[in-house]
Amino acid sequence: MTYTQLLNETITLYCEGKYLEAYSFLTENYKEVQGNMAQIYNFRYAIASKAGLYEEAIKLMKEAILEKGHWYSYSYLQGDEDLDALRSYELFDQLCDICKKREELAVKQSLPQLKLVEPSHQRKAYPLVIGLHGNEENMAIAEYYWKNFKEKGYLLALPQSSEIKFDGGYYWNDIEKGYKELGSHYTTIVENFKVQQENVILGGFSSGARVSLYFALHSKVKIKGLILIAPWLPEIKQWLPLLGRLKETKVYIVCGEDDVDCLSETEALVKALEQTQIDYIYEKVAHLGHDFPIDFITYIEKILTFTRESTCSPHI
């Protein structure tokens, strides 16, 4: 089970009104995945409160904030209905005030971050893969999915947005800011590493895929391969006339057939790529929601083979 799968299954149970079951499922399984513990705590105390486990909820909230040092958006804490039953606790207001101060400091100090992971075998110049996290994620979560490109000899770059919304939770909501940060990261990479600039693959998950596509459409950087995983594309209709700019780019798209948030926009993109005669492969994965495929490692060789080919027949 992946971190995203854990959260998605918990949300499914919650949306079905199975609050106790959702809380139990998350509590029993969270230690088995790698993810953001601040977010795990948030899910646990919020769902515990919704399930009527008020003492457990305030205990978890205290543990997360006072003992572990996490923080959460003040506006979220003040507005989330799941936490209404906790507002009668004096401790709740104290915890909110602590979070407000931590949030103000974190937002003020937050800067774009970049992690670079070199392959084990040294080369005169590296091919490059850039992998972007989704919203509410970070570069550590992204590394879990993209790390296997390193084993294929690629320099792996993992940008982290400067838009922080809670402890360890970063967003790509401001697409122009994301575009500029990604461009700055690329400049840093090529200034400090010998990169095969004709062999650059850019990819992202969800909102990270949105920034990746926007960058490929507007930047002068030559993108050989574009990987869009569960792409969140609310502006796709406005972007369709620009797809001709991807004539030199191979586009690999993966989306779950149960991804209610992203499937329709993804298929609008696929249809437009077909009409524009852009090289693409589209994998619609059965029984998958808004997530990476559990066997994403097996897609990597297909992605690399596709980007190396001179031509490819698109398929769905």
The domain that contains 87 carries what CATH number?
Answer: 1.25.40
Q: Identify whether 187 is part of a domain.
A: yes
Rounded to 5°, angle at Cα 5 from 314 and 260: 55
CA 194 to chain centre: 27
Residues 157 and 300 in one domain: yes
Q: Does residue 137 sit in the same domain as residue 64? A: no
Name beta bridge partners: 226: 202, 251
C-alpha–C-alpha distance, residues 205 and 139, integer Å: 11
Domain that holds residue 40: 3-109
**Cα–Cα distance for residue pair 41/58, rounded to 1 Å:** 11
Q: 315 lies in a domain?
A: no
SS3 271: helix
* pLDDT tens sequence across 246-284: 999 999 999 999 999 999 999 999 999 999 999 999 999
Say what the pLDDT of residue 312 is: 44
Quote the distance between the C-alpha of residue 95 and its chain's center: 28
Q: Are residues 143 and 88 in the same domain?
A: no
Distance CA(280)–CA(269), nearest Å, equals 11
Phi, then psi, of 214 in degrees rounded to 5: -60, -40
Question: What is the three-class DSSP state of 251?
Answer: strand
* Sequence-distant (≥ 6) Cβ neighbours of residue 290 within 8 angstroms: 4, 8, 206, 230, 256, 259, 260, 261, 262
Provide the total of helices (H) and of strands (E) in the chain, helices listed first: 12, 9
Distance CA 24, CA 315 (A): 41
DSSP annotation of 121: S
pLDDT at site 310: 60
Asked if 168 and 239 sit in the same domain, the reply is yes
Model confidence pLDDT, tens digit, residues 268-278:
999 999 999 99
CA dist 43 to 38, 64, 131, 246, Å?
A: 9, 11, 26, 40
CATH code, 227: 3.40.50.1820
Closest CA to 290 of 233, 231, 219: 231
Q: Cα separation of 59 and 67, whole Å?
A: 11
The residue ranges of the chain whose pLDDT is under 70 are 310-316
pLDDT in the model for residue 122: 80
Measured CA to CA in angstroms, residue 161 lies from 71, 103, 150, 259 at distances of: 18, 16, 22, 24
Domain count for the chain, please give it.
2
Residue 316 lies in a domain: no
Q: What is the model's pLDDT at position 83?
A: 98
Q: What is the pLDDT of residue 314?
A: 47
Indicate the residue among 109, 132, 150 that finishes a domain. 109
User: Can you tell me whether residue 196 is helix, strand or coil?
Assistant: strand
Q: How far apart are CA 40 and CA 307, in angstroms?
A: 37
